Amino acid sequence: MKLRQTYQYALSLIIKINITRIRTNMRYSPLLLLAIPMLAYAINFDERVEAGYQSSETKLGRDYENSLGIFIGKAMRHCIPANTAPAEHADNFTLVTWIDKMGALSQPEVRPEHSLSRCFLDALSSSTLPYPPAASMVEQGYPLTIYMQVSE
């Protein structure tokens, strides 16, 4: 009889321990559920470049990106002063970003990263761009790719 009570006691401890583990793990499961949608947006740089190029192939995309010329020019003039030769800053780079419905940059990234590309990114990020066309937006925003070739 005593052996049976000891067995039942040991079994109840095992059950309590497992229930505690389940409850502990359940505390973190809402965090995992919140992280799952974020994984859908974690596309790599090359995929973002392609998404930007695809958006620029539509008429709405071309028209919108043409309206960004003044902001892009202003950012480059900020980074390359008028009295310096472009050859001093001849570093090509690509910028990818999402533009949200209010015209702000979201998750911008430049490659390769160097002083000119960082300066351009900072200057463009400080601008409020025109609202992107709603028909061309995806959930993250409007995908924009800018390939900047600096030459004389």
pLDDT digits (tens, 9 = 90+) for 59-105: 999 999 999 999 999 999 998 877 776 556 568 999 999 999 999 99
pLDDT band, residue 144 (cuts 50/70/90): very high
- Per-residue burial over 41-50, b if 16 or more Cβ lie within 10 Å, else e, is eeeeeeebbe
pLDDT digits (tens, 9 = 90+) for 5-63: 444 444 444 444 444 444 444 444 444 333 333 334 457 999 999 999 999 999 999 99
pTM: 0.68
What backbone phi and psi angles, to 5 degrees, belong to 56? Answer: -80, -10
CATH number for the segment(s) 42-148 = 3.30.1150
Parse the chain into domains and list their residue ranges: 1-40, 42-148
